[in-house]
Amino acid sequence: MEGLMMNRSLKIADILDFASSNFPKGEIVSVRTEGDIHRTTYRETAKRTAQLARGLNGLGMERGDRIATLAWNGYRHLELYYAISGIGSVCHTINPRLSAEQMLYIVHHAKDRLLFTDVTFVPLLQKLAPQFPKDMRIVAMTDRAHMPTAEGLELLCYEDLLDGQPDQFDWPDLAENTAAGLCYTSGTTGNPKGTLYTHRSTVLHALMAGITLPNVLREGRRILPVVPLFHVNAWGLPYAAPLTGASLIFPGPKLDGKSLFDLMDQEKVYSAWGVPTVWLGLLGQIRAEGRNPDGFGDVVVGGSAAPRSMIEAFEKTGVNVCHAWGMTEMSPIGTQGNLPVELSDLPLDKRVEAKSSQGRRVFGVELKITDDDGNRLPHDGKSPGNLFVRGNTITCGYFEDEGANNEAFDAEGWFKTGDVATIDENGFLLITDRAKDLIKSGGEWISSLDLENVVMSHPGVASCAVIAVPHEKWTERPLLVVQAAAGAEAPREELIEMLSRHFAKWQLPDDVVYVDSLPLTATGKVSKLTLRQQFAEHEMPEVSLG
Ligand code: ADP
């Protein structure tokens, strides 16, 4: 028997409509590429989004059309999110740090009809333009006064699209499974793969984030998405913030420690979200200033494992760390590490220990771990296995990519994350490693993350990575790559001695190499793939593993 309740589609446009009526003064602050700080509200944004939607229709954009953005975090990018999905088109966010080859691949694969770009990327586009789809038009996200000269590029002006348009729009009634957003993973091997979000998955994800992080996602809170709008929709903040009345502070292109500190201080940011590499810079600045930015109380760290030393450094200064895990294919949030009430008063060292896990699953995301034959493993905190996920905010297939889809799901339809993890009896997930980053030494696994966690606690280490180097006898052996902190030293003997207090001899790195900086992926994480290629021929010293 069916129930008797109204069945209204979950639609993204309703989020901004809600924010406009309930939180009209909720702020959006943007550091603009023009150089100044821009302030607006959810009410104003709703009006401009309506104008932009009309502008898009005027350019002939229709339902299902893919419209790309190549832009930093800012209010115009947010307007595009809502206007594009609102008219039934698909907002395809492009990561500007992708290689030219990957960028061209995804523009063609997505069949983008229109590309919105920050003016900073115009020189890049001038180079790529001859290889773009012939009928794709480009819009510079600025006003007439700041339009760049761009020989060889025919540019439309963003503000011209809005000028003179009525600021009301009748958003079409879209079925909730209509595609709304498209985001390609950076693809460490092979071509990038596209995750195609729906209105339904996006609204559910925003609701789920809101109930999961009620201390952050609520009216009056000021949130800084350092995570870019092109990295899995800034982890859902453009939807969860307006839904809950939190304000958004967009940092623009400058993400170094000092720029972030000053902006957070000035704008009284309460919660900041981003990958660990960004927080290394901020922590350096906090140390230099001898204080936290005014009002700073919470940091969400995700995208790769938060080192224990980083969690400790924040928690020591009274900043709550929420260590979250997820994937592009998961919208992205899978688990979050805020502690249960009964653990929140633990002494610092215990709290840091507990927060080093990736936390518990959010509502709507199911987790399972299996052995290589697909048999489920117990949630005992001891048995590492391949991690699979299932839920309404998780992809059911990559965009037009049969080859990738054949590998991505198991027989029961669960999505294979590529991560290896344990889950304990209370549901805490601990990522052991990415399967491809585990070091397979003589039939045993060595977790690169575990080793890195210890090395990162040495005061002379700014950043580090442990990678597998091919080995004749043992298949692979660990190599520790260290970036020393400015003006500090992290001698090899000290690092190995530190590690040997925690690990068996066969688990220790055979060698330590020092680099000026570690290579980063397009999403700002340490690129172990690049390091593995760089050190593939590295000659390891003979060490006895006994
Ligand atoms: P890309 O690597 O292309 O940016 P994703 O952002 O989707 O793509 O990366 C997802 C992967 O990042 C996960 O499968 C996992 O390996 C890693 N990851 C994300 N968050 C964490 C975390 N908190 N701890 C450990 N690994 C993480």
Q: CB of 417 closer than 6 A to ligand 1?
A: yes
Q: What is the mean pLDDT of residues 100-104?
A: 95
Instruction: Evaluate the omega torsion of the peptide bond into residue 332 and state whether it is cis, within 30 degrees of 0.
Output: yes
Q: Which of 183, 308, 325 to mutate to test the pocket of ligand 1 (most atoms within 8 A of CB)?
A: 325
Mean pLDDT, the chain, integer: 96
Q: CB of 528 closer than 6 A to ligand 1?
A: no
pTM of the model: 0.96
pLDDT digits (tens, 9 = 90+) for 487-536: 999 999 999 999 999 999 999 999 999 999 999 999 999 999 999 999 99
Q: Are 388 and 410 in contact (CB under 8 A)?
A: yes
pLDDT at 278 over 80: yes
For the chain, the C-alpha Rg in angstroms (whole number) is 24
Q: What is the mean pLDDT of residues 250-277?
A: 96
428 CA to middle of ligand 1, Å? 17
CATH number of this structure's domain 365-434, picked from the four choices 1.10.8.60, 3.40.50.300, 3.10.129.10, 2.30.38.10:
2.30.38.10
Q: CB of 230 closer than 6 A to ligand 1?
A: no
- Ligand 1 atom index nearest CA of 332: 7
Three-point CA angle 205, 4, 363, nearest 5°: 20
Residue type, 311: I
The pLDDT of residue 189: 66
Tokens of 243: 């839904």
The pLDDT of residue 37: 97
Name which of 255, 252, 15, 259 is nearest 141 in CA terms.
Answer: 252
- Ligand 1 atom index nearest CA of 328: 7
Other beta carbons within 10 Å of 363: 10
The pLDDT of residue 190: 77
Name which of 325, 507, 525, 521 is nearest 419 in CA terms.
Answer: 325
| H or E, element range at 208 | helix 199-212
- Ligand 1 atom index nearest CA of 418: 14
> Which pLDDT band, with edges at 50, 70 and 90, does 169 fall under?
very high
Residue type, 441: S
Tokens of 336: 């979050």
8-198 under CATH 3.40.50.12780, yes or no: yes
The pLDDT of residue 232: 97
Q: CB of 85 closer than 6 A to ligand 1?
A: no
Q: Whose CA is nearest to atom 19 of ligand 1?
A: 303
Name which of 56, 68, 67 is nearest 161 in CA terms.
Answer: 56
521 CA to middle of ligand 1, Å? 11
- The whole-angstrom separation of Cα 257 and Cα 273 is 14
- The whole-angstrom separation of Cα 54 and Cα 169 is 8
Name which of 280, 302, 9 is nearest 171 in CA terms.
Answer: 9
62 CA to middle of ligand 1, Å? 34
Residue type, 166: P
Three-point CA angle 534, 537, 542, nearest 5°: 125
Q: CB of 185 closer than 6 A to ligand 1?
A: yes
The pLDDT of residue 193: 96
> Which pLDDT band, with edges at 50, 70 and 90, does 290 fall under?
very high
Q: CB of 328 closer than 6 A to ligand 1?
A: yes
257 CA to middle of ligand 1, Å? 22
Name which of 277, 227, 269 is nearest 248 in CA terms.
Answer: 269
The pLDDT of residue 186: 73
Q: CB of 431 closer than 6 A to ligand 1?
A: yes
pLDDT at 91 over 80: yes
Cα dist. 365→208, 262, 324, 394 in Å?
10, 37, 13, 8
Q: What is the mean pLDDT of residues 264-284?
A: 97
Give phi and psi for 409, each to the nearest 5. Answer: -125, 150
Sign, CA torsion 448/449/450/456: positive
The pLDDT of residue 316: 96
Name which of 176, 209, 205 is nearest 85 in CA terms.
Answer: 176
pLDDT at 196 over 90: yes
169 CA to middle of ligand 1, Å? 38
SS (H, E, C) 452-464: HHHHCCCCCEEEE
Q: Whose CA is nearest to atom 9 of ligand 1?
A: 327
- The whole-angstrom separation of Cα 436 and Cα 416 is 13
544, β-bridge pairs: none
Q: Are 433 and 421 in contact (CB under 8 A)?
A: no
Instruction: Return the active site residues.
Output: 185, 329, 440, 445
Answer whether 8-198 and 439-534 agree in fold.
no
Residue type, 223: I
> Which pLDDT band, with edges at 50, 70 and 90, does 191 fall under?
confident
Strands (DSSP E) found in 26-101: 27-31, 37-41, 66-70, 90-93
Q: CB of 358 closer than 6 A to ligand 1?
A: yes
Q: CB of 419 closer than 6 A to ligand 1?
A: yes
Residue type, 287: R
pLDDT at 33 over 70: yes
> Which pLDDT band, with edges at 50, 70 and 90, does 543 fall under?
confident
The pLDDT of residue 435: 94
Q: Which of 94, 227, 304, 528 to mutate to test the pocket of ligand 1 (most atoms within 8 A of CB)?
A: 304
- The whole-angstrom separation of Cα 4 and Cα 113 is 42
298 CA to middle of ligand 1, Å? 21
Tokens of 277: 């590499």
Q: Whose CA is nearest to atom 2 of ligand 1?
A: 186
pLDDT at 349 over 90: yes
Q: What is the mean pLDDT of residues 100-116?
A: 97
CATH architecture label of 439-534? 2-Layer Sandwich (3.30)
- The whole-angstrom separation of Cα 205 and Cα 326 is 12
pLDDT at 188 over 80: no
HSE toward the beta carbon, residue 231, CA cutoff 13 A: 23
Name which of 301, 179, 199 is nearest 207 in CA terms.
Answer: 199
Q: Which residues contact 520 (CB under 8 A, 6 or more apart)?
A: 277, 526, 527
Q: Which residues contact 508 (CB under 8 A, 6 or more apart)?
A: 478, 496, 499, 500
In the chain, what are the domain boundaries? 8-198, 365-434, 439-534
Q: Which of 415, 419, 423, 450 to mutate to test the pocket of ligand 1 (most atoms within 8 A of CB)?
A: 419
Residue type, 229: L
Q: Are 283 and 255 in contact (CB under 8 A)?
A: no
The pLDDT of residue 187: 62
- The whole-angstrom separation of Cα 433 and Cα 418 is 9
Q: Which residue has the tokens 């993400």?
A: 255
pLDDT at 82 over 90: yes
Q: How remote is the C-alpha of 457 from its chain's centroid?
A: 24
Q: Are 99 and 521 in contact (CB under 8 A)?
A: no
Q: CB of 302 closer than 6 A to ligand 1?
A: yes
Q: Are 193 and 401 in contact (CB under 8 A)?
A: yes
Q: Which of 329, 431, 433, 447 to mutate to test the pocket of ligand 1 (most atoms within 8 A of CB)?
A: 431
